[in-house]
Structure 1
């Protein structure tokens, strides 16, 4: 089963935020979407999750026409396509365990949801998700008392509770320090590898995209200007995505670096491509 964007466009009045985007993403791929602020990355993810509707074009997941879903069918898709936000979107006054359990709402009856009644199995599942992310000791703390990195891990645990077929992460490490950024990206890669879940994440750092993603989509001005594996992200591709500075020089890649990974041994072909892109 694959995910497909076909000529997807989103307009806000006279402004076109996403312009005629096409892409086919096989099940189980980890994709990084990169580009400057305002390139259309967040709008694209919000359309995939249907938090925003496309102005035109088609969004499909297998035989499912996502772009035309309404009512319960749309709620089911938003359950199956979990969204992780830069600002976490937790309920600060509720404890961590309850925040994670909220990921089950679209799996339950309205009555149980209103009464906030969760089964023993769901609670065990939530604790297991927290243990997987190394924060089970925070289960009874108010979510608002946690650090940013811990809150993002709670948000990932909540997404796991949805038992999704696809995970979208909108700048999940933008507000985190390098160590917590690495922990969060490791968690997303683990979900992708162990469950075979498709992960699409917006990133603002080239080194992170290269280190974690099998495929990189570069956007500029709402359009896809690069789509390929990390080793093909050459200096020419970087210029297409990020442009040049006021002097006409190519972007210094260190400006986008979070340095969240220790140096790793890379194939010669990738090393040469990366050397060109610096």
Structure 2
């Protein structure tokens, strides 16, 4: 299954947020999109999920034109292309289990979901997702009472129960401390490698993109100015993505560092340390 963007453009009045982007992504890649604020990263992801409409161009998945879908077919695409937001988008007053189960919304009737009538199998699926993320002990807590890192893991669990073919993450670690950022990125990589789900994530930090993503797309001014493996992201490429400082020097990469101590892809077996997450969660209680 191949995902394609063909000349995708998005205009807001006279401003071009995304400018004629052409990208092909085979199934199962983990892709990081980097660039300065305003480069078009979030707009691009929102168009992929059809939360925003392209001004021109086409989006294809497995040969079908996603950008022309309407009604039920569009809802099915948004089910298959799960979205994880920077601000989590949970319902704070609902318990964690119900927030996760809402990921099943497009798999069943809306009435059944709104009445919170879920099957035993769906509840087992939701609990398994929470256990996988190391936060099953929060299942009956109101989502609004959790820490930011825990809420982002709930959002990932909700995306998991959608049984998606692709997972989009819009700045998933931007508001998290380094420890929780690592836990979230480890979870996304684990999903990518174990399930073979394509993961596309927007990131501000070069060290995170290099550590977790097998492919990096750099955007500047709405255009793709770099597309390649992490080892090709050299000083010249970074300068083209981020520009130079007022003295003409290249950007200091330490300015974007999150100090994540992550093993790079391919250097060692990858797994989520569930026991470590459990210890962290217990300490937060």
Residue 192 (structure 1) aligns with:
192
Question: 1:212-253: per-residue Cα shift (whole Å, max 9, x none)?
Answer: 000000000000000000000010000000000111111000
Residue 170 (structure 1) aligns with:
170
Q: How does 1:110-149 map to 2 (within 5 A)?
A: 110-149=110-149
Residue 63 (structure 2) aligns with:
63
For 1:197 and 1:264, the matched residues in 2 are separated by 19
For the residue of structure 2 that corresponds to 1:3, the secondary structure is strand
Residue 13 (structure 1) aligns with:
13
Residue 49 (structure 2) aligns with:
49
So what's the TM-score if we normalise by structure 2? 0.92
For 2:118 and 2:28, the matched residues in 1 are separated by 30
* Backbone CA RMSD of aligned residues: 1.3
Residue 154 to residue 266, structure 1, CA distance change in 2 (3 Å): closer
Q: Is the Cα contact below 8 Å between 2:2 and 2:63 reproduced in 1? A: no
Segments of 5+ residues of structure 1 without an aligned counterpart are 268-278
Q: How does 1:1-278 map to 2 (within 5 A)?
A: 1-261=1-261
For 1:205 and 1:114, the matched residues in 2 are separated by 38
For the residue of structure 1 that corresponds to 2:151, the secondary structure is helix
So what's the TM-score if we normalise by structure 1? 0.94
Task: Using the TM superposition, give the Cα deviation of residue 114 of structure 1 relative to its aligned residue in structure 2, in angstroms.
Answer: 3.0
Stretches of 4+ moved more than 3 A in 1? 262-267
For the residue of structure 1 that corresponds to 2:207, the secondary structure is helix
For 1:35 and 1:264, the matched residues in 2 are separated by 21
